[in-house]
Amino acid sequence: MKCAAGSALVLVLSTLAACGGKGGPEVSVPPDSTVGLAAFPPMANDNPPGASAAARATATALGRGVNFGNMLEAPSEGAWGLRVEPEYIDAAAAAGFKSVRLPVRWSNHASPGRPFDVDPVFMARLESIVDSLLGKGLYVVLNMHHYHLLDGDPADAGDTAVDSTLVAERFLVMWKQIAEQFKGKSDHLVFELYNEPHGRQSPAAWNDLAARALAVVRKSNPQRVVMIGPTNWNSADALGSLRMPNDSNLIGTIHNYSPFSFTHQGATWVSPVLPVGVSCCDAGQQAELTAPLAKARTWSDATRYPIYLGEFGAFEMGDMASRVRFTRLMRDGAESRGFSWGYWELASGFGVYDPAAHAFRSPLRDALLGN
């Protein structure tokens, strides 16, 4: 499996080298690269108004969700063993999930140089998936995922090399195309600007780029609800440095894989690989698990923007009883604070669904959706 936690708050120092891979083309990205950005002025972010009633209603409606991980954020769909199948869409809806988060590696499906055209076949594939999900009555969170060069990380094997001076501009032009393609969809579609900014995306750099990206989106989608998360891998610890643009149709988002020594035990993309046999959840682990949620609630109260917990989960190397306890504690911790959430993930190493058995793993499903 590849980077199965969607980069999942990878706090171990050398994790990214494993997660990003070493076989792809490496492009140095200077931190002051601004070529082409003058064409995309940022939205002001000096006086964010807090969330609109529509944004709050959408945050509530997202409810209990699931990520379609290791599918579309792979270098190509299927490269990490999974494709978006009708079976998975039907299963998510039938189980009672209210939303699906779609992590997408757009950067491997766009031309490396201007005009940065997104492959129309890939765009049509994504639109068909979104339409199928919306047709099931599900809300959809559509994001940009694993654009490694944007963070200054090595590319994965098979990724497209991009001139370092064009990386940020390309991000914005890709969002321009995505926003225009999906502008006619219902308000059950939510955009998420970027998954887990880190590295080159310092708080100042990310605040600027997010403000530019939202301005791009607003040209074609003036009212669509958009999610923005903080740096440091969408860590709640970084919320204090996140400056939301002056826009009311926004939701904040965080990820929470604490305690990391439990949730990522045995994960091969973490270096060094964490020891297995760690159970969960004693009092100390529970405190570690809930601390980020408490920080997010404090931020939400102060800024008047709702929170979506976009990723949490425990890798399959943990014992099932502990995974179930962790999952239920995270669910209850999020919901008691008024957060909607998306479990990581449907059908891979963290999966609530067994694709070989074509059935849900009932203990995990019940921890997420049961009484």
Helix (H) or strand (E) holding 354: strand 353-354
Confirm whether 288 is a catalytic residue: no
Q: Is 100 helix (H, G, I), strand (E, B) or coil?
A: strand
CA 302 to chain centre: 23
Confirm whether 26 is a catalytic residue: no
Backbone φ and ψ of 141, nearest 5°: -105, 110
Pairing status of strand 189-192 against strand 226-228: parallel
d(Cα 346, Cα 343) in Å, to the nearest integer?
A: 8
Q: Is 99 helix (H, G, I), strand (E, B) or coil?
A: strand
CA angle 208–290–142, rounded 5-degree value: 45
What radius of gyration do the chain's Cα atoms show? 19
State the DSSP string of 36-67: TGGGSPPPP-SS-----HHHHHHHHHH-EEEE
Of the residues 192, 196, 288, 316, only one is catalytic, namely 196
Q: How many CA atoms, within 13 angstroms, populate the side-chain half-sphere of residue 61?
A: 16
Of the residues 73, 311, 316, 345, only one is catalytic, namely 311
| Helical H segments across the chain, by residue range | 15-20, 53-62, 86-95, 120-135, 148-151, 167-181, 203-220, 231-234, 260-263, 283-303, 320-336, 362-369
Active site residues: 196, 311
